[in-house]
Amino acid sequence: MAGVAPDTKRVVLEALEAEEARLEQMLRGLGEPQWNHDSGCEGWSVADVVLHLAQTEEAVSSLIAGETDDVPYLPGSSSADEAMQRWVRAEHGQSPEEIFDRWTTARRRALAALRDAAPDRKVPWVAIPLKPLTLATTRLAEHWAHGLDIAEPLGIEYPDTNRLEHIAWLAHRTLPFAYAFEARGDAPAVRLELEAPQNGRWVIGAADADVVIAGPASQFCRVAAKRLAPQEADALVLEGTRAGEVLEVVRTYA
């Protein structure tokens, strides 16, 4: 994605739309006990996770349209996680049907807003303003990770796809932010050599990077999304004295 090609925005938005459509199909098949089941997000049910996605998709549209300058509940919270918890608690209790309809409406509006957004205009977001292309990629990462949070506790198959390439790019691109967020100093130069889930191999980063992380994109992206502990990513091969540190710090969300 470096040196953004003219069709990159289209490709990313198509990937986001496909990931959301897969999640929508899964949600349509759930019964009320599954909606009330614990998700992979501590303290949240499946319904809470989808409510969170609906809320944040509504925020995407509102922020792009300039209807507000802040993500709700972020001002006054000690962290983004606290803000999201407060936001979900404030609207807890809606029925699965209401939440599902709200999210499906919100996701379509957010996609339309992202398509129409001026490419260089930064949109206020949780930690820092983001250009629409990066914001769309964060939404892809968010929907993929929360899809796992729903599918895995319910025992539903949710196979990885080559859309993980965009998520790996996001994790690599935002390493300087991740290091600043963790107050860990400057990020080293990193090269990723990742095996695609379906076919292919992705190389992201400079050939002379100080750190090389190689192996399955599925494991790397889970580590970056905080869905897999670095020490459990046993198929990743690390080179460079700071490689382990990179896996501890890397993230795909604010």
Q: For residue 67, how many other CB atoms are within 10 A of its CB? A: 9
* Residue 135 shares a structural domain with residue 168: no
Q: For residue 43, how many other CB atoms are within 10 A of its CB? A: 10
Q: Which tokens is 209 given?
A: 């990077």
What's the pLDDT at 3?
A: 39
* Residue 90 shares a structural domain with residue 117: yes
Residue burial 14-31, b: 16+ Cβ < 10 Å; e: rest: ebbbebbebbeebbeebe
pTM: 0.94
What's the pLDDT at 6?
A: 53
What's the pLDDT at 118?
A: 93
* Residue 105 shares a structural domain with residue 131: yes
> Per the structure, how many domains does the chain have?
2
Query: Helix, strand, or coil here: 40?
Result: coil
Asked if residue 64 belongs to a domain, the reply is yes
In tens digits, the chain (254 residues) has pLDDT values of: 443 445 899 999 999 999 999 999 999 999 999 999 999 999 999 999 999 999 999 999 999 999 888 888 888 788 888 999 999 999 999 999 999 999 999 999 999 999 999 999 999 998 889 999 999 999 999 999 999 999 999 999 999 999 999 999 999 999 999 999 898 999 999 999 999 999 899 999 999 999 999 999 999 999 999 999 999 999 999 999 999 999 999 999 86
Q: Which domain holds residue 53?
A: 8-154
Nearest to 217 by CA among 163, 253, 179: 163
What's the pLDDT at 2?
A: 41
Q: Which tokens is 15 given?
A: 């990937």
Give the CA count within 13 Å in the CB-facing half-sphere of 196. Answer: 13
Asked if residue 1 belongs to a domain, the reply is no
* Residue 27 shares a structural domain with residue 148: yes
* Residue 16 shares a structural domain with residue 61: yes
- Residue where a domain terminates, one of 116, 132, 154: 154
